[in-house]
Chains A and B, each alone.
Chain A
Amino acid sequence: MNLSKTLIYDGSFNGFLTAVFIAFDERINVADIQKNDKGQNVLFSETETIFTNVEKAKRVWNGIRNKNYNAITNIYFAFLSEEDGVELLLYTYIQKLMATHKGRSVDYSDGVTLRISQLSRSVGREKHRMEAFVRFQLTKDNIYFANIEPDFDVLPLISKHFRNRYADQQWLIYDVKRRYGIYYDLQGVEIVSLDLNEIHFNRNRKSKVFAEGEYDYQELWNNYFKSTHIKSRINRKLHRQHVPKRYWKYLSEKKEAV
């Protein structure tokens, strides 16, 4: 019998898929799959470090996709939830998926499957919210810049939307929590890692990095927003349900409220 092993990978999705490949290929009895920057709790099993290999990752990706097209989206979205232990959950799910007959969908009364689809749905919801709640501010070097602080790692998911929509302006969306951004330079989108020492909340304090007129437009929008509601119909609870408070500090229309 195989000894159980904990696989350590670099935290990337390709790294995770590589780990899955190796586990399948070498028939490893997987105890856990962990990111290399996590404080590890691997007392009772041996560890193996996985080196990301795009070819191997691709084979797993294609394998899953051929089985079930929806599953691949679910897996990717759930992975981006960064939830503790999600890797092992996904690994179990992929095992189950591979064991089913081609074309037959997986059973949603199954706990693992259910959890994956819940996670995936939460991430999907936040993807949509970020497409809505990104607020660009124009910098002096003509880049439309936005901070976001999503619960999940959704930047990779929203890149295409913004690429399609804002094709004629340079933009940068920066994830404050994960300290990286996606940058569009009028040609293509790339991932940039940068450490901003000043985070631009939408506070009333103004920053010099932004273009002349930027704050005027923010004020106009803020004002416009105020004039949209009809007093006799106010419903704050519904409002907060739609625009969760944790997003407010980056919304120019919510300046006073923060």
Chain B
Amino acid sequence: MNYERIKEKLNILADAAKYDVSCASSGSDRANKNNGLGNAARMGICHSFTEDGRCVSLLKILLTNHCIYDCAYCVTRRSNDVKRAAFKIQEVVDLTINFYRRNYIEGLFLSSGIFKSPDHTMERLVAVAKKLRDEENFNGYIHLKSIPGASDELMYAAGLYADRLSVNIEVPTTSGLKLLAPDKKQEDFTKPMLKVKNEIVRYRNERKIIRSTPKYAPAGQSTQMIVGATGETDKDIMYSATYYYKIYNMKRVYYSGYVPMVEDSRLPSIRSQVPMLRENRLYQTDWLLRFYGFAVNELLNDTHPNLDADVDPKLSWALRNLHHFPMDVNKVDKRMLARVPGFGMQSVGKILQARKFRRLNWDHLKKIGVALNRAKYFIVCDSCNWEHRDLEAEKIKGLILQNSTSKFRRQYSNQLSLFN
């Protein structure tokens, strides 16, 4: 190994890859085969954490940061003056294996700038994965980034070796895409997504009949959108996300607050803040859609196109829909319980369990561990001292904020002090 050379490449190509926020190594349970190397744990394992607090579980690198395209938001873009490097296929394989053997990582996340052509690039990504599986008998996690515009055949091959495939939409609106990524067309993303989706479905059906059918991209596909680069609303983002969940069976959509790196008149200034709070709110919304049974137009619509900064989306919804409240904890169904601010799905489950035995009062709820400081304004239970009957939305919000010490509140007040 030419250590100095590899080190330089790794520095450049890891640095360029770090803005891709997807890092999960979960959702695949690849067993160790024939006493080979590695397996993939269903829940994934974070082997370390970055200084900004995110999980490090995969060796996340670009194969190269040479790129023929010029997307405005990207460090790797053609017109950006940065050092360029490219890994050889074998170099990526060696790094992955050696990091894996030392228990540094769960596997590889391989992405790339586009050199020569989408197909030419995709072919190399697939070659890395194939080598890892076939020659190294590697059963760890592999996530390949599909290159927009890559052919169906390559997408097919990619899914046979990778656990997860993703292609980043990056810009949530078509108009934004035209502006910031003039070389890319929407269908460059959607075509490979559709291919992957169809193959996953086909393989799953075949496995039902022939058990030995290999798995195709067992951890599914994901995508990422940049937030705050093009002036889109939260509604634009979440409607677009919902569309991708529905049409392409996405496992995850990631939202990545735009980190300004280049001065460009089409983009926010280089001094602007990363919209972390907004990103956080989007993840909360995503969560409500996937696990809490909310429909996207309940949370975001023409009269409410952006999420609130000061309260989380569920509380915000409740405050705008006070006519549903107070709910009787001992009566309403699961779907409604899930809508009470302060009730997580775990609490909901416990409440449903517990109320089979007895009617619940404040004490029971407290024991169960629900966040009563929020919930108390929205529920009645088997106690009569319910003092907040005719409060207005603004008043409730004020009371909750006053008593809340959540990290969001701190962030929010930080942000405020910046503007004062």
Contacts and interface: CB of A to CB of B under 8 A. Distances in A.
Interface residues of A, number: 45
Contacts of B10: 220, 223-224, 227
Given A169-B37, A220-B10, A238 B53 contact: yes
B45 interface: yes
B135 interface: no
Q: For chain B, which range describes its interface: under 10, 10 to 19, 20 to 34, or 35 or more residues? A: 35 or more
A220 B47 contact: no
Given A133-B47, A223-B11, A228-B50, A233 B102 contact: no
Given A224-B14, A227-B15, A233 B52 contact: yes
Nearest to B98: A217
Interface string B1-30: 101001100110011001100000000000
**Interface residues of chain B: helix, strand, loop or mixed (majority):** loop
Most buried by B among A216, A230, A241, A243: A230
A225 B32 contact: no
Interface stretch (A36-44, A93-101, A136-144): A136-144
Interface string B66-102: 0000000000000000000000000000010011011
B20 to A, nearest CB: 11
Interface in B208-257: none
Contacts of A251: 48
Contacts of B35: 167-168
Nearest to B140: A165
Contacts of A123: none
Given A169-B101, A221-B104, A243 B11 contact: no
Interface of B: 1, 3, 6-7, 10-11, 14-15, 18-19, 31-32, 35-39, 45-56, 59-60, 95, 98-99, 101-104, 137, 259, 273-274, 276, 367
Which 5 A/B pairs are nearest by Cβ-Cβ distance?
A238-B53, A242-B49, A233-B52, A229-B51, A229-B50
20 contacts: A131-B45, A132-B48, A144-B102, A165-B32, A166-B103, A168-B35, A217-B99, A217-B102, A219-B3, A221-B104, A224-B14, A227-B18, A229-B50, A229-B52, A230-B274, A232-B273, A235-B53, A238-B52, A241-B53, A242-B53
Interface of A: 109, 128, 131-138, 144, 146, 164-169, 213, 216-221, 223-225, 227-230, 232-236, 238-239, 241-243, 251-253
